[in-house]
Amino acid sequence: MTDKILNYIKDNFPTKTAFFVGMFVFFILFASIDGFVEKFAPKASYRAIPYLIILVIWFVFWLYKRTHLPKNKKGYIGIVVCVETENDKQKNRLKNDFVKRLRELITRKNLKRIINVILLDNYQTKYAIGVLDEYAKNKQSKEADKNWQKIRKRTQGHFFIYGSIKERQDRENRYYLDLEALVTHAPVQLPTQNKMVQDFLSVWYKQISFQEKIEFRGFLFAADAIFIAAQYIIGIAALVSGDVSLAFELHTGLDNDPYFSRFSPLPPNLQNVKKRLKTLLSEENHLMARAFFEKGIFAEAERYMNQSLSIEPNYGAYLLKSIIEFLHMNNPDEALKSVYRARDIEKSDGTWRYNEGFLLMYMERFPEALRVYDRIINTSFIDEESILVEIYKFNKNFLEKHPEKIQSYFIIGFLKYKKDLNYPEGLEYLEKFISESMSKDKYRILKDNAEVYCRELRKIMNL
């Protein structure tokens, strides 16, 4: 009985009714003790000051309880659970079975140092659900977005699970968990955002129901299912936000989670997780490899690259393999093979062709290389501008280490002229190539082309 009373007070304390009840109680208290206090402070104005201070303290305390939301630990991914319950029994099941299970899974998967679960009480839940539901339905609304951002900042949460638990008679008493979720991530382009939404919808359990007689196992099942989806989605959010190591940690081992072995065949949402995980892990291993490569840690870069390719053929991993084969293994032939494997995977991105052109130039297969560069100027792809920046940087660095490989002057000059339409720099690098190749007959075909381009550039610039 005492527990019920305490729970009732806790749930209703932040309401306006509770505030006015509290004010009324204080006024009754003040009236009952005022005669005694008057003996020590005869003036009513003096007695009013402490009464007023007490009332202000009450108001501040009540306002804090009304507006306060628990805050996530700094540096942790916050999973915020705001699920509305109908009675104390459901509240206990939510706390002692569902949320406790989530925390057990986090510990079991060695994620305790990066994930924290926050459970809102009933009043906080009602407020949060209203905000989250409004934002989910109308993300274009400035007011909805403002309220959503306010909750994000106050809780420092990253993944919000919200909804309700209901008990209903359907031949026999059953629990119904109606759950939605929102995940935070860095701003992304609309196609990426739409893809994330599709991924989310394909793995999330919007409703889970089970008989009351198996309520313990039912809540454990719900927690397991929800955490699988949360771990998967938070990983994707981390990936698109640029935190590759976090995405990699969350997704690694998820495909071997014991939860998957309980079902045969797998439910559709779990099939979607398994299917997408393979591609995600391949890409995340590739991105980890690239990060180590950029730091000059080639052994780790090669290890992650091989892991990526062992999962499934990966375009980026094959391109990285071609660079490692060339720079670290000094094997341009194998590097070129990796480029062609990348070509066979990806049809819309043309980065592989830049690698092919450079390697053919390096191996002094100039007629083939020129045909590749002709195709380069006649095609384009998304984000090609940033690839060109990398190409220029790579060739300039390569010339510093290998000044004898003057074909890099030709590559830079050609691309500056034909791709960037940067005529002055194009002319500068092409003239530099002509100057360096004067006494080297093997570069004749490149020199003849460079001279034609230089004449065209001088005519364009009226030189």
Residue 247 domain-assigned (yes or no):
yes
Specify whether 300 is located in the same domain as 180.
no
Specify whether 219 is located in the same domain as 295.
no
| Whole-angstrom distance, CA of residue 68 vs CA of residue 61 | 10
Confidence of residue 1 (pLDDT cuts 50, 70, 90): low
Q: Which residues contact 349 (CB under 8 A, 6 or more apart)?
A: 315, 381, 382
Residue 262 domain-assigned (yes or no):
no
Burial class (CB in 10 A: 0-12, 13-18, 19+), 243: middle
CA proximity to 209, closest of 199, 193, 201, 221: 221
Q: Residue 190: is its pLDDT beyond 70? A: no
Specify whether 289 is located in the same domain as 245.
no
Number of other residues whose CB lies within 10 A of the CB of residue 29: 12
How many structural domains are present in the chain? Answer: 3
Residue 269 domain-assigned (yes or no):
no
Structure tokens at 431: 């003239």
**Concatenated DSSP letters of 162-219:** EEEEEEEEESEEEEEEEEEEEE------HHHHHHHHHHHHHH--SEEEEEGGGHHHHH
CA proximity to 171, closest of 206, 139, 209: 209
Specify whether 218 is located in the same domain as 295.
no
Task: Return the minimum-mean-pLDDT range out of 15-19, 133-137, 190-194, 246-250.
Answer: 190-194
CA proximity to 397, closest of 412, 385, 384: 412
Specify whether 191 is located in the same domain as 97.
yes
Among 67, 85, 106, identify where a domain stops.
Answer: 67
Mean pLDDT value of segment 222-237 = 88
Residue 22 domain-assigned (yes or no):
yes
Specify whether 366 is located in the same domain as 453.
yes
Q: Residue 460: is its pLDDT beyond 80? A: yes
pLDDT at site 457: 93
Percent of the chain with pLDDT over 70: 95
| Whole-angstrom distance, CA of residue 419 vs CA of residue 422 | 8
Q: In degrees, to the nearest 5, what angle opens at C-alpha 21 toward C-alphas 15 and 22? A: 90
| Whole-angstrom distance, CA of residue 259 vs CA of residue 270 | 9
Confidence of residue 25 (pLDDT cuts 50, 70, 90): confident
Residue 327 domain-assigned (yes or no):
yes
Specify whether 139 is located in the same domain as 247.
yes
pLDDT at site 7: 62
Specify whether 205 is located in the same domain as 154.
yes
Percent of the chain with pLDDT over 90: 41
pLDDT at site 188: 56
Q: Is the four-CA dihedral 254, 260, 261, 265 of positive or negative sign?
A: negative
- DSSP single-letter state for residue 80: E
Among 230, 251, 272, identify where a domain stops.
Answer: 251
Is the separation of the CB atoms in 450 and 430 below 8 Å?
Answer: yes
Among 24, 41, 67, identify where a domain stops.
Answer: 67
Q: For residue range 272-294, what is the model confidence (pLDDT) as tens digits?
A: 788 888 888 999 999 999 999 98
Residue 276 domain-assigned (yes or no):
no
| Whole-angstrom distance, CA of residue 215 vs CA of residue 207 | 15
Specify whether 194 is located in the same domain as 331.
no
Q: Residue 256: is its pLDDT beyond 70? A: yes
Q: For residue range 339-386, what is the model confidence (pLDDT) as tens digits?
A: 999 999 987 899 999 999 999 999 999 999 999 999 999 999 988 999
Specify whether 214 is located in the same domain as 359.
no
Q: Which residues contact 400 (CB under 8 A, 6 or more apart)?
A: none
pLDDT at site 3: 58
Specify whether 94 is located in the same domain as 126.
yes
Q: In degrees, to the nearest 5, what angle opens at C-alpha 383 toward C-alphas 378 and 385? A: 70
Specify whether 58 is located in the same domain as 185.
no
Is the separation of the CB atoms in 277 and 232 below 8 Å?
Answer: yes
Residue 139 domain-assigned (yes or no):
yes
The domain in which residue 160 lies consists of: 77-251
Residue with tokens 């190409």: 391
Q: For residue range 30-55, what is the model confidence (pLDDT) as tens digits?
A: 778 877 767 677 777 777 788 888 88
Residue 258 domain-assigned (yes or no):
no
- Among 176-180, 182-186, 257-261, 414-418, top mean pLDDT goes to 414-418
